[in-house]
Amino acid sequence: MSSELMPLNLSSQDGNLIIVWNDGVRMEYAASLLRNSCPCATCRAKRDEPAPDPLGLPVLSIEEAAPTKVAGMKPLGNYAYNIAFSDGHATGIYSLELLRELGTATVE
Ligand SMILES: [Zn+2]
């Protein structure tokens, strides 16, 4: 299928991800957005938990306090990417469909 959307170029900028798609659209992905949208089972379960007590004191670990960055990406076949983050989390498999949804189109 030649009409399928594929990333032509992947790069990172300030720890965020930039994908240029084969239809010419350039999309930017904040690392924190990608991290919060991680589709792995662990993160999905975490997001389904009830919100923490708003009156409780926020306790931030060092990892949480530091801005998350994209540490690496590797293609899985030609349908998805495995993204590793600077907090050590690297089990998320991001389908091209999901990446296309999450991105914000930008003009260079
Ligand atoms: Zn995850």
Tens of pLDDT, residues 35-70: 999 999 999 999 888 776 767 766 666 555 678 899
Distance 37 CA to ligand 1 centre (A): 8
Distance 20 CA to ligand 1 centre (A): 24
pLDDT confidence of residue 50? 79
Distance 59 CA to ligand 1 centre (A): 20
What tokens were used for 91?
A: 């089990």
Residue 34 has φ and ψ, to the nearest 5°, of -60, -45
Given a cut of 80, is residue 11 above it in pLDDT? yes
pLDDT confidence of residue 64? 59
Distance 2 CA to ligand 1 centre (A): 31
Given a cut of 80, is residue 10 above it in pLDDT? yes
Which has more pLDDT, 59 or 10? 10
Distance 14 CA to ligand 1 centre (A): 21
Q: What average pLDDT does the chain have?
A: 88
pLDDT confidence of residue 67? 84
> Which whole number is the average pLDDT over 72-97?
94
| β-bridge pairing 26-29 and 104-106 | antiparallel
Domain positions in the chain are 7-49+63-106
Q: Which amino acid is at 8?
A: L
> Domain 7-49+63-106 falls in which CATH fold?
NE0471 N-terminal domain-like (3.30.2020)
Which has more pLDDT, 8 or 14? 8
How far apart are the C-alpha atoms of 4 and 28, rounded to whole Å?
20
